[in-house]
Structure formats: structure tokens, C-alpha cells
Structure 1
Amino acid sequence: MAPLQSFDESALTPATTPSATEWQPSLVLPARILALPSPLSFFCILRFLKTQKRTGWLDKGIANAETISDHMYRMAVMCLLAGDQPGLEGVALDAQKCAIIAIVHDLAEAIVGDLTPCDQVPQDEKHRRERISMLFLSDLIRPHNPRGAEILYESYIAYETGSSPEARFVKEIDKFEFILQSAEYLDDIAHGGEVKADGLDEFYNSSDARKKIKTPVIKTWLSQLDETFATTKSFATLAEANGSK
């Protein structure tokens, strides 16, 4: 298989990738990047998170959609701003651990892509690709920073398995950030912005996302969002009340 000249989701569909049993990160990443020394190769792979737009928004017709790194960055800042709030277990969360998990949880998508059911990749195969991609990335930086490699992979596994209070908190942050982004796109549409899309209401009102938000501080954020946005599908009401536009 020829090295990819650019990394996009179409390059990862079943029609163009190796079979499920053959798929490996080294087969889809550009050879010129794989040839770089560590940690430069790792840094260059991270670039794909900055350029690859999130599939769910593209499927809704949002051309200028957020990228994977956009999503993870705001999640990480949210984790820090949450401070050492108590999690569902009532124990204070480690905000720094939460932030690390947030900036790692979708890291494998730099290689795998932001796969959705439309890509027709079975869930078990999707998870296998993500796991071996995280092992691949960890191996890239291990010669440079062994402990960093461990943190990278352990944080990913914690998120996937929900094995710590911090990981479970970040899963809820992921859902809240998704709902907030939906609101922002709807607000942009309401004010004649560049976003042109249909069906975003189902994302904002997603019962699947909302029912997973249980931690008090995130529930408070969601209530604040609903109180200022849900009725008008716009932030205009709040802005007008504050004397701005």
C-alpha cells in the first residue's frame, strides 16, 4: 500500500485500507514521517489531530467543523476549571489527571481517524485499531521518555475502561463538550453565521449524551446551558439581557 500523502477519513474506509486482520498504523502513516527520529515522528503524527475535522459534524454538513484537537483541548481546559471537585464517589478529583486523560483520550484518531458507524468498521475492530495505535505511539516516545509513554497508554486505557474516578469524569466532560458544541453551531446558524447544517437539534437534545452526565458540577454546567439556550436555540436572549449583541 502506497504511503498516504495526506491523512483523512476517506483513506481509512474498508475500501482502501488493509483487511481487518492486516490493518496496522505503519500501513496508513506516511513513510516520510515514520522515518523521522523520536520524538519528532510522534509530534508530526499529532498534527493530524489539528487538521482532521470531527466526522459527526461533517456528516451534518458543517464544512468548517471543529477538529479532533479542538475538541480535546477544550475538554482539557474544562477539566482544569472544574478544579478538585468531588466525583460521583464523593472523592475529590485530581484535575491534572483529568486534563491528561482529556488530551489523550482521542489521540489514536490521529492514525485511525474519527470513525463512525457510517464507516462500516465493526466496533471491536475500531477498538483494536485504536489500541494498537496507542501502543504504536507509546513505542515511538518510549526511547525518549519511558514514563511519558506509560502515562500516554495508561491514560488511554483508563478512559476506555472507565477504571478511575477521573476517567469517568472525563467521559462526562466529553458528552458535555459535545452538547455545548451543538449549541454553538445552532447559535451560529440563528445569527447568520457560516455554519449551514440541518439536524443539529438531535445532537443538542441527545438523550444518550445527557443521561451519562451525572457529576454535580457538570450537571450544573448543563443546566446553565439549557436555561440560557434551550428555548430560543440562541444565546441572544442572555446577550440582550446583558445589554450586548
Structure 2
Amino acid sequence: MPEASERNSVLSEQPQWTPELAIPNSILALPAPLSFFRILRFLKTQRRTGWLDRGIESRNAESISDHMYRMAVMCMLAPQEDELDSRKCAMIALVHDLAEAVVGDLTPSDPVGPDEKHRRERATMNYLADLIRPLNADAADQLYTLYIEYEEMLTPEACFVKDLDKFEFLLQTVEYEMDVVEGKESKDVALADFFRAKAKIKHPLVKEWMGQLDEERKRVVGL
């Protein structure tokens, strides 16, 4: 087995990850916006890693776009009394995981560390914005700005969507637990520890929804 210094040397010789290295050449060769649209397709075909890691059947595991779409529809219920822009919330929801089309759905258990994960995601969003900028500079700027707004939680809308991200994840968790009860998923599936994310939800409305979900979980799942 190679010494640690040898392994590190091999790793250091590998080219730094870039979006261009991750995107198939057949797509890179296409003109925009067709290349951009083809990249978006990966959101539809990639299953969310967390479910697969916990034993959810691949055919039942939600895609990245499944998650983003339900969040975007939830944004229509953004409370008016908070003066939240529901349209902007929906746009943030549709952009927040867009980089995963190229980067993939990396989890804390992935060997790629958090700093590298964020670097790849930001590089991807820069790449996608540059790809469509010659066609629509405003759309390109908006794409990247909304992503940064969410990542850095710069606005009330971004904070609201961040809570929706956790809530939608927990809603899907309960739905999979129900599938286990109904025999649609293996009894070996264990998702209860995901509910630690509940404590991070701050918005009163989303906390109210979480309370409803907790009640349903107790009634149907018994947890």
C-alpha cells in the first residue's frame, strides 16, 4: 500500500474539479441555451443521495428537481404579513440546488469536504450564468445573485426558503416512513435522526406547518 505522502502526491497531481470536466463533451459542444437546458435535465434524473444512503429504493427516491419543485409551490404561501415576495421566494427555491445538476448531491458523508463542495457549487453557478449571459444578461445575473442570496441568507426571502428547504426534507422523510409502515419500503430504512433538522426551523409559519407534520407522524407512524 502506498505511503500517505505518496497518496497525497497522486491526489495533488489530479486536475482541480471544474464544471467543464464534469459536463459531458456532447453537451459542452452544444450552443446555448440548448446546452443549458440539457444540463438542467440532470436535476430530473439525479436521485437525492441522502435517501439512497438510507436504503430508500432508487425507483422511489425523489430527484433533485422533485425537491425544488415542491418547495417552489410552497413559496406561494409565503405570509403577506411579513411582506415576503412570494415570487422571489419561488425563484430562490428553483435556483438554490441548481448547481447539483453538475456537482451532484453531495452529503456530509461524501469524501468531498464542505469547503470544496461550496467551491464547486459556486464555480458551477458562475459557469451557468456565463453560459446564458450572451443571450440574456439580466437572467444570468439573477441566477447567480439569487443563489448567493440563499447561500449567505442575505434577505428575509432567503431565510424563509432556507426553512422551507428543511421542512420539505422532513415532509419527505415522514412520507418515506409512511411507506415503510405500508410495506412499500424495507423496515431496515431508518430516518428518525433526520428530525434533528427540525430545531433549525425559525420562521413561525414553517414551525406551525412542522407542528402539523409532527402530529401526523405520531398518528400514522407512531413516532
Q: Which residue of 2 aligns with 1:213?
A: 201
Q: Which residue of 1 aligns with 2:8?
A: none
Amino acid at match of 2:34: L
In the TM superposition, 1:190-229 aligns within 5 A as: 190-194=181-185, 197-203=188-194, 206-207=195-196, 209-229=197-217
Aligned Cα root-mean-square deviation (Å) = 2.0
Q: How many Å separate the matches in 1 of 2:218 and 2:132?
A: 45
1:134 correspondence with 2:134: no
Q: 1:192-245: CA deviations, max 9, x gaps?
A: 224665211222xx22x11221211111111111122225417xxxxxxxxxxx
User: Is contact 2:96–2:147 with CA below 8 Å preserved after alignment?
Assistant: yes
Q: How many Å separate the matches in 2 of 1:158 and 1:184?
A: 30
Q: Does 133-142 or 114-123 show the bigger shift?
A: 114-123
Give the 3 Å change call, closer, same or farther, for CA 189–37 of structure 1 in structure 2.
same
Amino acid at match of 1:24: T
Q: Which residue of 2 aligns with 1:14?
A: none
Q: How many Å separate the matches in 2 of 1:123 and 1:19?
A: 21
Q: Which residue of 1 aligns with 2:53?
A: 59
| Structure showing the higher helix proportion among its residues | 2
Q: 1:35-82: CA deviations, max 9, x gaps?
A: 111111000000000000001000001122100000000000001133
Give the 3 Å change call, closer, same or farther, for CA 71–18 of structure 1 in structure 2.
farther
Q: How many Å separate the matches in 2 of 1:99 and 1:200?
A: 27
Q: 1:11-48: CA deviations, max 9, x gaps?
A: xxxxxx99786111101111110111111100000000
User: Is contact 1:101–1:155 with CA below 8 Å preserved after alignment?
Assistant: yes
User: Is contact 1:20–1:125 with CA below 8 Å preserved after alignment?
Assistant: no
Give the 3 Å change call, closer, same or farther, for CA 214–125 of structure 1 in structure 2.
same
User: Is contact 1:175–1:213 with CA below 8 Å preserved after alignment?
Assistant: yes
Structure 2: tracts of 5 or more residues without a match = 1-10
Amino acid at match of 2:61: A
Residue of 74, 79, 86 corresponding to 2:75:
79
Amino acid at match of 1:220: E
Q: How many Å separate the matches in 2 of 1:195 and 1:66?
A: 16
1:158 correspondence with 2:159: no
Q: Which residue of 1 aligns with 2:64?
A: 68
Identity of aligned residues (%): 59
Q: Does 19-28 or 156-165 show the bigger shift?
A: 19-28
Following TM superposition, the consecutive aligned residue runs of length 4 or more in structure 1 with deviations greater than 3 angstroms are: 17-21, 194-197
In the TM superposition, 1:28-67 aligns within 5 A as: 28-63=22-57, 64-67=60-63
Question: Cα distance, 1:191 vs. partner?
Answer: 1.2
In the TM superposition, 1:89-238 aligns within 5 A as: 92-194=83-185, 197-203=188-194, 206-207=195-196, 209-233=197-221
Q: How many Å separate the matches in 1 of 2:97 and 2:12?
A: 22
Amino acid at match of 2:62: E
Secondary structure at the aligned position of 1:118 is classed as coil
**TM-score for both structures, normalised by structure 1:** 0.81
Question: Cα distance, 1:117 vs. partner?
Answer: 2.4
Structure 1: tracts of 5 or more residues without a match = 1-16, 87-91, 235-245
Q: How many Å separate the matches in 1 of 2:163 and 2:102?
A: 24
Q: Which residue of 1 aligns with 2:4?
A: none
**TM-score for both structures, normalised by structure 2:** 0.89
Q: Which residue of 2 aligns with 1:24?
A: 18
